[in-house]
Structures are given as structure tokens and as C-alpha cells.
Chain A
Amino acid sequence: MNQSLDMDPVKTELPGRVQRSGNMLLEARGLVKRFFGVTVLNGISMSLQPGEVRALLGENGAGKSTMINLLSGVLQPDGGEIFLDGEPVRFLQPIDANHAGISVIRQELSLFPDLSVAEAVFAGHLPTTRFGRIDWKYMREATQSALGRLDLAVDVRAPVDSLSVAEQQMVEIARALTRESRVVIMDEPTASLSPKEVANLGEIIAQLSRDGVAVLYVSHRLDEVRAFCSTYTVLRDGKAISEGIVKDTTIPLLIRDMAGRDVEIGRSGAERSSGKAVLEVRNLASRPHGRVVQRVRDVSFTLHENEILGLAGIVGAGRTETARMLFGLDPIGSGDVLLEGESFAPSSPSAAMKAGIGYVSEDRKALSILPQRSVTENFALTGVVPPKLFGRNDSAGEAKLLEQFIETLDIRAASIKAPIATLSGGNQQKVILARWIARHPRVLIVDEPTRGVDVGAKEDVHDLIRKISAQGVAVLLISSDLPEILALSDRIITLLEGNVTSEVDAASATAETLMMKMTKHE
């Protein structure tokens, strides 16, 4: 099917828009939403047939999340209508959409950490027996079978927070599966999944589609979109830019629609000579405590000035945990760390910072930003400008330095006094990077620097990382995104279950060879 099959050309508002009469499960017509007086969705129309898997694409800030929130009753539209089975509906709260058969698998996990897996899966729709008692047996069995479909072997009685992030994500998916949903909206479901789990998810989506369930698939990962989705809608600046059949388009075309320009994510080709060794890590291991298992077992590497060292591994391989030890956040279990030849064991982040280490954490929202505080405060938080007498802030100095970064990094903010939460994800990340670059660190650890960052800003962030490396900073790059690792790194080490499995020159590495070293196989 493509636009030539439009049966009602009068309704066609956009090139590529697929219009069908009747048989429509969920349809949005001309949705409008405004925040702070700013229009974030400007008349979006979109439809889902039973069994259709539609990709919803767009940069951060394009309006994808708002669209999801309107369809799931979290927000109400300021204009336009939503139809279910051809009837106009109003979802005043999420439960209304839920009852209508619409489930959302969210990017931020909405599970309850203290509940058991089975309880979490059934939260909000606990099954009861004839006598009104909770039907535990059914709950456990149904959970077990849903998790079985996802190839996830966990104890359904275990508390949710004993699971890894990826496992929690799978539980979230299982939750939607048990609901007999008619429409499943998946918001970046693969952000923390391993390649094998992603493949499983693909099968689940295919199964859902065969069962007549409509899926709205939101992701930045265009290879997944190609593999899983039949149709697509691209949003940009709150408008639907294009719509069509996935098979009939190409990834570069989609990227162009999303970014409004041609963006190429490719190898840097930089062959930087490795200079002086700045950071040496020898046989580093973490200390298990409580329920936390030993994630890092034996990690050794050397990081040179001018170099970007990629640290690749699937979730749970011990990448972030290694970074946390180097930054003084978690105690070092055993092993040695040498910083410019001197033994180094940071007791706190401030000690690590004094020694010249910077750390951009993987979870921007939870660990990096002060959401209600201004851009300036977020920027100056690491003490980029020394205080004046009596610990007074040098506001003028801070503003001057920040303006420089805003210019060079192309940070888009209404004002430097605006709360950082009003910026898009990419711009937030640039401010966070600026916060560290301004300190002139010797070593900068960047953990998932482009997670949740839109395609255009992603390239800016990559440029920035290359630039600071060229200035002599030793960069340790942690990323789940193999193209990103390959594009930026000079050398790459792979981690598997807390051990280094290989160290390769980036020029000779491919995604496939890295993946082989990152996963367990006989």
C-alpha cells in the first residue's frame, strides 16, 4: 500500500498520508497541543489499522512524547479529535485509554520497585477469584507465560528492583501483553535491551500484529524500524512531515525527513596518534554488597591523551560500574588505578574532580540535570567559574563563559535563566557536556552521551567529543550504540560480564566483530 491507494483523496492533508475508510482501529485527526503558550503539536493526523505496526519517528522535541500522551489519556488535546473504531472518544485520564484497550510501554519505567514481578505485571487490573480474593495462582501463571513469550527467565515472585534494567523493561512489555490490549504503544522500548532481547521483541511485535493488535513503535533506531514496522509517520516541529510504507523508503530519506537536512553518522576516520598514558586501570574489580552482585570483575586498560577509548558491552557488562568507581561514586573492590603514573583511589566525586576527572552520566534526567533550576545554574554546578570573596558566585563570569558555549555548541535556549527542563534533550545534554568541558578535565568519561538525543543534536555531540579529544583530553566513551562507538573511538575494548574480552583498533573493527566479543556464545 502507498499513497496511491488513498480512497478518500479529499481527506488527504499530507503527501504520503495513508488514508483508509472504515476498518480503522485508532485514528487521530488534527490533534493540537500547546504548552506555555507554545504549540508543540500542530494538527497531527494519524491512523492505525488492526495488525498495523506503525513507526512514529522524529527528533526529540518533534512532538512524539506529546502524541503518545494524547493517545493514552495522560494529556488532553487543545484541538482535534481521537476516534476509536470510528467513534469519537475522550480519554480524560490514562485509565480511560487503558479500558479502551490502549497500553503504553514507557521509556521511563513505571514499575513499582517493591512489588513482585507478578504484582507489577498485573498492577491496576488484579485478577480476582469468584470470592473476590486476588487470584495469585492465575497471576503467577499468566506472568510466567507472558515472560516466557519474551524468553525472560525470572522468578515472578522476586521484587522488581532486584531485576536488571533490561529485565525490568521486558517486564514492562509483559505487562502490556497480559492486558489483552488492542493498541500497544512502545516508547523507545529497546533503549536498554541487548541485541538478543531486541530480536525477541521483534518476534513479539510480529506475533501481536498477526493477532490483530495495532502497534505504534517509537524509536530512534532506524534499523529496528526497518525490521519491525510496516508503516511510518515522521514528525518534525509538531507537524507530520511525511507518512508512508517503510519498505518504500530508505534510512537516509527518513533521517532527512526527521532532521530536515542530510545527516551522516559515519566513521570519523581520525587516526590520532596515541600520546602519553593518562589513566591506567589494572585488574579493577567492584565490591559486591547486599543485593548488588559484582558487576566488574577484571577490567584493565590504558587511556592516552588525545585519545577516545570506546568501552563497548551490553547492559550489565559492567561499563557504567567501571566509570562510577573511577569517579569515586562507588568503592573500588580490588585492582589499581594510576593517574599520570600516580596511584589514584578517589573517595568521592569531588576528589575525582580535583584530580581532573569528569563524568557525564548515562541517565541525564535522574543523575545530571537540576530540572527546575536555570540553564546557568546547571552549567555552573561543577564550579566552572571560581567563586569570589566569601563564596559569592561570579555571575558575570558564568554568564560570559556560558554564552561562549551556547555559541560554539549551538545550544538553543529561550534564555540562560530558563529552567533547563524547558530545553530539548539534545540541548540539555550539550549544557551538561559544557559543564564538564569548562573544567578542562584531563580525563572525561562520557556515558551514553546521545541517549535520548535527537538525530541532529547527536552529530553536534559527536563533533564536540572529537573536539575535546583533539584538545588533549583523554576520553572514555561508553555507549550501547555500536555505530556511535565505531564512529568516535580510536580504540575499543569490549566487556562481557565484568571482564575485558578484547581490545581492538577501531579502524579494524566492525559492529559484527564487536558484538561477537560482547555476547556469550559457545
Chain B
Amino acid sequence: MTEDPNVAMARARRYALLGKLAPLIFLLLLVIIFAILQPRFLMSLNIFNILRQVSIFGIIAVGMTFVILIRGIDLSVGSLVAVTGLCAAVVAKGGVEGNFALTADGTGFHWAFAALAALAAGTLAGVLQGMAIAWLAVPAFVVTLGGLTIFRGIALTISNGGPVSGFSAEFGWWGRGLVGPIPVPVIIFAVVALVAYLVLTQTRFGRAVYAVGSNPDAARLSGINVNLVTIATYGVIGFCSGMAGFVLASRLNSAEAVAGTGYELTAIAAVVIGGTSLYGGTGGVVGTVIGALLTGVLMNGLVILNVSPYTQQVMIGLIIIAAVAFDAFIKKQSR
């Protein structure tokens, strides 16, 4: 009637491990399927393509992981990418043609100032949203939904609707350059993910993020300043958006107000596919990186197979649901 508890326990442990690996297994399955259908999929050139395409929304997804871990959400990241990209572009170009000029002679600044402008603008925007969420007690969904249109409007105002393009080669290196065979954005993504991983798993702040997401009341009663953690977390995703905005502007050699449209959903999808719970408190950056890769592989593979754009949308949706269902199924088995 009852089985040996040791056997049962071992099986539960095996499933628990499998649960952690579920997104990775799903990713490998997808890669194998694409590779069989189209061997060119595995060309090293294509692998780097995927990594490069993943890196920009991947950087945002890393920031989104922090936000979702504290039971939050950030819908404004796509618009913020446009704003921060334009900030970098405007500083690099010294103004916007036909709109305004920062310098009297119309010359631009060094790329480092452009990058700083993007990071500072992103962080500031994130912190401001975090303050509204923490202090005014407006739900994050509402604040960042407001941010989504506010930042898009600011981007349009800065750019006057048109693109700001044509940067120096140094500026362009951050989006288009290579270190050995590896594209620079991929390195940036890897560094951002690694730092985020260390912060979340090894530091007091990371632990506070998990605590606030797991049980905000318990966190508060343990002396954690929940408001401060919330604000800092939105600062983190703002910083990541700024980073993504700068890299995107560099990669496209152009910044415009419509850039980054829809990034928020891609980033949220990557985080959720990676196993981070929308209810906060569980998950992490490793899952998010896998989730981002899975999303990237999907978009790349379907184009390479020349699947009709209409069908693609259906397939992407189905595969996202399948990935999360697979994860949930494995986790249920371990219970």
C-alpha cells in the first residue's frame, strides 16, 4: 500500500532537480528540432546572431527579473529604451537636427558621455516610478502603464518624430563591434546577467529582494525597508533599460521614438519562461537567461525556416505556453 519512503524521497529529489532544469531541457529540445529541420540553424554565425539579438531584450529581462521577484511589473521598459537611446544619441550628436542643439557649434560629445546620459536617464526614470509605487501606493501595473505612454511621448518630443542617426565608430562599437568572434552586446549581456546573479544570490540586497517578494510583511518586521528595496529595484530595471537603449542605438546606428516597442512583453515572457513566479519570491537570473535564449531561438528559427509571419505569431504563443506548462508539470511531479 505504501512505498518505501526512501525511494519516494529520491524520486521527489530527482523531479525537484528536473524542475530547475525544465526550461533548459525545453530550450535544448527546441534547438534540436530546428537543427534537424534546417541544419544551417547551427552555423556559428547564426548562433552569434541569436545571441546578439537576445542580448538587448535580455538585458531588460534581467532587470525585469528583479521587479517580478518583488511581485512587481514594469510595462514602461520599451518606451524607456526609446528615451534612453535618444538621450545617448542626442548627447553623441550634440542635438536633434531641426529641433534643438546642445552645443553652439552643433558638435557632439564623447560616446562615454552618451552612455552615461542613457544610464542616468534610465535609472532616474526607474527610481521615480519606484517612488510612486512605494510611497504613493499606486499599483506598479498602473504606474508603469502610465510610464509607457509618458516615456513614449518624451521620446517623440526629443526626436520630433524622426530618427537621430549616424554616430562615431567608437559609439557604434558597443552595438556592432566584436571581441574575437563574440559580438560586444553579447558580452555586455553576459556581464549584466553575471552581476545580477551575484547580487541576487550573494548580497544583502538580493536577499532583501527575495524577502520582499516572498512576504513583504515578514520582510518589514525583520527590519527591511520595503519601500527602499522597491525603489532600488525599479532603479535597477531603469538602469538596465538605459543600458539596452544605448546598445540598441549603437547597434542600429540610429535612435528613434518608436524603438523598443513591445520589449516589455518579450522581457516579461523571458522571465516567466525562465521559471520566475509572477507571485514573487522564487526564480532568478539563470532562468531568465535561458528564457531569453528560448525566445531568441524561437524568433530566429521560425524566420530561418521561412514560416509565414501570420503562422509565426500563433506558434510563438503556443510554444511560450508549452514551455511554461512543461515547467509547471515537472514542478508538480516533484510535489
Q: Do chains A and B touch in the complex (CB under 8 A)?
A: yes
- A residues contacting B by CB (< 8 A) are 30, 32, 34-39, 42-43, 79, 327, 329, 348-350, 353, 359, 361, 366-373, 377, 380-383, 387, 390-393, 395, 435
**B217 interface contact, C-beta 8 A:** yes
Verify if B222 is at the interface (C-beta below 8 Å from A): yes
Query: Is B203 an interface position by the 8 A CB rule?
Result: yes
Query: Which listed residue, A42, A43, A349, touches B222 by the CB 8 Å rule?
Result: A349
Contact of B225 among A350, A387, A392, A393 (CB under 8 A): A350
Distance in angstroms from A335 CB to nearest chain B CB is 22
Give the distance to chain B from A405, nearest Cβ to Cβ, in Å: 16
**CA distance in complex: A34, B5 (Å):** 9
Question: Considering the complex of A and B, which 6 residue pairs feature the smallest CB-CB distances, nearest first?
Answer: A37-B8, A370-B214, A37-B12, A350-B223, A381-B222, A353-B223
A369 touches B223 (CB 8 A): no
- Give A381's nearest chain B residue, CB to CB: B222
Residue from the list B5, B204, B211 in contact with A370, Cβ < 8 A: B211
By a CB distance below 8 angstroms, the chain A residues around B204 are 383, 387, 391-393
Q: Write out, one digit per residue, whether chain B residues 321-335 have a CB within 8 A of any chain A CB (1) or not (0).
A: 000000000000011
Q: Is the CB of B281 within 8 A of A373?
A: yes
Which of A38, A393, A395 has the most CB atoms of chain B within a 10 A radius of its CB? Answer: A393
Does any Cβ of A come within 8 Å of B210's Cβ? yes
Mostly, the B contact residues are helix
Q: How many whole Å from A79's CB to the nearest CB in chain B?
A: 5
CB pair A392–B218 under 8 Å, yes or no, is no
The closest CB in chain B to the CB of A34 belongs to: B8
Query: Chain A residues with Cβ under 8 A from B225's Cβ?
Result: 348, 350
The docked-state distance in angstroms from the alpha carbon of A349 to that of B228 is: 14
- Bound-state CA distance A372–B279 (Å) is 11
Known: A37-B9, A349-B223, A381-B207. 16 other contacts (CB 8 A): A37-B7, A37-B11, A42-B2, A79-B1, A349-B220, A350-B224, A361-B221, A367-B221, A370-B219, A371-B281, A380-B207, A381-B211, A381-B224, A392-B202, A393-B202, A395-B202
| A interface secondary structure, majority | mixed
How far apart are the CA atoms of A180 and B217 in the complex, in Å?
Answer: 38
Using Cβ atoms and an 8 Å threshold, which residues of chain B touch A377? Answer: 207, 210-211
CB distance from A323 to the nearest CB of B (A): 11
B205 at the interface (CB under 8 A from A): yes
| CB within 8 Å of A: which B1-44 residues | 1-2, 5, 7-12
In the assembled complex, which residues on chain A have CB atoms less than 8 Å from the CB atom of B335?
A: 35-36
Q: How far is the CA of A435 from the CA of B207 in the complex (A)?
A: 15
Is B46 part of the contact surface with A, judged by Cβ < 8 Å? no
Chain B, residue nearest A386 (CB): B204
- Please name all residues of chain B whose beta carbon is closer than 8 Å to the beta carbon of A395 when the two chains form the complex: 202
Question: Which of chain B's residues has its CB closest to A39's CB?
Answer: B2
Query: Which residue in B1, B10, B215, B222 is a CB contact (below 8 Å) of A435?
Result: B222
B8 to chain A, nearest CB (A): 3
Task: Quote the shortest CB–CB distance from A378 to chain B (angstroms).
Answer: 8
Residue of A nearest to B280 (CB): A372
- Chain A residues with CB under 8 Å of B202's CB are 392-393, 395
Interface residue B282 (Cβ < 8 Å from any Cβ of A): yes
**Residue from B202, B222, B334 whose CB has the most chain A CB atoms within 10 Å:** B222
